[in-house]
Structure 1
Amino acid sequence: MPVSQTDLEIALKNVLNVSHLEITDTSSGCGENYSIVIVSASFEGKTTLARHRLVNELLKDQIAQMHAFSQKTYTPKQWSDLQAKEAADATMT
């Protein structure tokens, strides 16, 4: 049974304080492969591994139905720093 982007969004937003979320179906719409970028204050003070474990636990039922799942997790400060760096890099080219 395919997993919908809406199911993933609801599962994450119901538990985490999400300030930015990008969910990409990398399986051409069949719902078997997803890549997510999630920004949350809930990640403050946690290592990348701890963040990924938290997300994996929240989405364990959905991930069990997928072929592939990848995630990038950021705190709000890390996200704003990344956005500023990307903007600066874009003006240099």
Structure 2
Amino acid sequence: MNIQNTIEEKLLTHFQPAYLEVINESHQHNVPAGAETHFKVVLVCPSFNGERLINRHRAVNAVLKDELANHIHALALHTYTDSEWQGLYGGAPDSPACLGGLKRKVS
């Protein structure tokens, strides 16, 4: 299993998040092709309610302690409560209005 999948699995199991995105940003750094050393995690979790940002980050770091000690060079954490996430990004964006495709009149 690769590091990205391990991160995803551990965070899903431990936090049961409303939203999780793990992005391998290693290609943006001076590392060999295919490296898994730099990650960004976006984690939206109900258990973060009432928790300070530092405590959220500590909780994630505790779950990923082995990966941080042995594999990950950099980990950017973006941790949110459900209400923070909704306030920042709302729900899923609406799809654009359909212009009718082939049924549209051509002038």
Question: What range describes the TM-score normalised by the shorter chain of this pair?
Answer: 0.7 to 0.9
Corresponding residue for residue 67 of structure 2: 62
Specify every segment of 5 or more residues in structure 2 that has no aligned partner in the other structure, as ranges: 28-33, 94-107
Higher relative contact order (CA 8 A, sep 6+): 1
Structure with the larger strand share: 1
How far 1:17 sits from its partner (Å)? 2.4
Q: Which has the higher Rg, Structure 1 or Structure 2?
A: 2
Provide TM-score, normalisation by structure 1: 0.83
Q: Which runs of 4+ in 1 moved over 3 A?
A: none
Superposed CA RMSD in Å reads 1.7
Corresponding residue for residue 41 of structure 1: 46
Specify every segment of 5 or more residues in structure 1 that has no aligned partner in the other structure, as ranges: 88-93
Residue 32, structure 1, aligned to residue 8, structure 2: no
Provide TM-score, normalisation by structure 2: 0.73
**In the comparison of the two structures, how many residue pairs are matched?**
84
Q: Distance in 1 between matches of 2:87 and 2:68?
A: 29
Corresponding residue for residue 22 of structure 1: 21
Q: Deviations over 1:16-41 (max 9, x none)?
A: 12010111111024111101110000
Q: Percent identity?
A: 34
